[in-house]
Structure 1
Amino acid sequence: MIIYNVTVKVEPGSAESWVKWMKEEHIRDMMDTGLFSDYRLCRLMEQDEADGVTFVIQYHCDGIENYQSYVNEHAPKMRQKGLSKFGNKFAAFRTVMEAIN
């Protein structure tokens, strides 16, 4: 299993609306690509939140091919939606992991 991990720091004043957008729109759009089998949205604990609230979103896919399809066919549009909605009120970085069970 491949895990597409997105860590996002959101300005404190925008965190609530960002979570609402994630739950009501963005995660649904990601899952509707048909390339991911599951997801998890988490808030990092024990963090200094003075400059932002940190969240982690993990999207699971069955193989690297599905992840590559997402990157090639959907990622630019998905990222642009977040930028259009929240501008510079967040910063994100992405990693890809392989689950070893």
Structure 2
Amino acid sequence: MLLYNVTSIIEDAAADRWLQWMQESHIPTVMSTGKFISHRLLKVVDSPNEGVTYCAQYAVENMADYLDYQEIYAPAFQAEVAANFENQVVSFRTLMEYVI
């Protein structure tokens, strides 16, 4: 099983709006793709960055589902984030494999 992690650093002025959008729109839309089996959203409490940092994490059963997501859905979803929060959010993505 794999964990797809999206860490986002949001400007203070946009943080509340971003969080609401994630909970009400973005995460439900990502989950509706059927590629992930679970998700969680975490707030980083000791971030060295300015602004507010969150990690959206999505569990995926296999590499094929992850690659399908990246090819079919991710470009449009990333464009939507950019359009809604232009110059207010910086995100980076990591893919991790469960060991235990």
TM-score in terms of structure 1 length? 0.95
Amino acid at match of 1:61: V
Alignment of 1:52-71 (within 5 A): 52-71=51-70
SS of aligned partner of 2:47: coil
1:35 maps to: 35
Amino acid at match of 1:25: S
Segments of structure 2 that go 5 or more residues without pairing to the other structure are: none
**Separation (CA, whole Å) in 2 of partners of 1:38 and 1:76:** 21
Q: Tell me how many residue pairs correspond in the alignment.
A: 100
Q: Give the aligned CA root-mean-square deviation in angstroms.
A: 0.9
SS of aligned partner of 2:35: coil
1:96 maps to: 95
TM-score in terms of structure 2 length? 0.96
Per-residue CA deviation, residues 49-73 of structure 1 (Å, 9 max, x unaligned), is 6x21000010001101110000010
**Separation (CA, whole Å) in 2 of partners of 1:67 and 1:48:** 30
Per-residue CA deviation, residues 52-98 of structure 1 (Å, 9 max, x unaligned), is 10000100011011100000100100001111111110100000000
CA-CA distance at 1:47 after TM superposition: 2.6
